[in-house]
Structure 1
């Protein structure tokens, strides 16, 4: 994973901090580019496997249509209320579809650990329920920028 951060190095997260943060957070905001060039942003649940961010998206969504046309994507995960509590991560790169779309549960070894992780994180169960409306997108980021204002003096 490339780190594109030059400014704010003193507030950027270390690798272990980044992994812990992305593993613990539940909601991200996903930005795509619409056909007219305007950005589209929407919230999604996600899973982080230590290398890639996995998004389970409705295949009949504007997000999905945008990514089929232009797979560039940016994702922000952030939290904090007061200025000194703000922290987050921006990941950007190219989204790749993994498995069938929409997902019906056909065997896909690459998705087995991701689906188990996602099912436990969001549903409290061991196996992923498939509704025939969603599919998996993988973002292995080309660039990562992070911040943790709690590190400021």
Structure 2
């Protein structure tokens, strides 16, 4: 029998399911002075990895181009006994591919607009797809490539 930390750790399948059911991530990159730049973003899962869109000129992207180190936190719960979370440490990969922008943008944009969320990569209404292409023209996708994953689910206690 392990300690409390071992008791609340999620299995890889539980981590994957948790990330699939959530949609907000806290993202930390490093400013030039070494201080964390922390923001909350809506995300989609791209090949099982957290992916979100942001303006190519945003501070997050400027920071990642200089130093790709990034930490992400996805959490849920309000009472201690129901707290769950996944922290991912690794590298933020900047993706400029228009097809990837469209896939991730469709999911994230639908969530932002309060619309039904399409499956990642599902065919889009042509009008929606064109509007999305235009709105994503100045954006990039950031994909979290984790080196380390920590998780907790206090409901297991």
Same fold (TM over 0.5): yes
The question of 1:98 aligning with 2:95 is answered yes
Deviation per CA, 1:47-97: give whole Å up to 9, x if none: 124531112112222111111111100000001111101110001111111
**What is the match of residue 120 of structure 2?**
none
**What is the match of residue 37 of structure 1?**
34
**What is the match of residue 82 of structure 2?**
85
Correspondent of 1:139 among 137, 144, 152: 144
In structure 2, relative to structure 1, the CA distance for the partners of 1:30 and 1:7 (3 Å cut) is farther
Cα distance, 1:113 vs. partner? 5.1
Structure 2 runs not aligned, ≥5 long = 117-123
Greater shift, 41-50 or 118-127, is seen at 118-127
Greater Cα radius of gyration, structure 1 or 2: 2
Deviating above 3 A after TM superposition, structure 1's stretches of 4 or more consecutive aligned residues are 110-128
Q: Secondary structure at the match of 2:26?
A: strand
Number of equivalenced pairs: 140
Query: What is the Cα-based RMSD across aligned positions, in Å?
Result: 2.4
In structure 2, relative to structure 1, the CA distance for the partners of 1:140 and 1:7 (3 Å cut) is farther
User: 1: CA distance between counterparts of 2:91 and 2:20?
Assistant: 21
Higher helix share: 2
Structure 1 runs not aligned, ≥5 long = 1-5, 101-105
**What is the match of residue 156 of structure 2?**
151
TM-score, normalisation: structure 1: 0.78
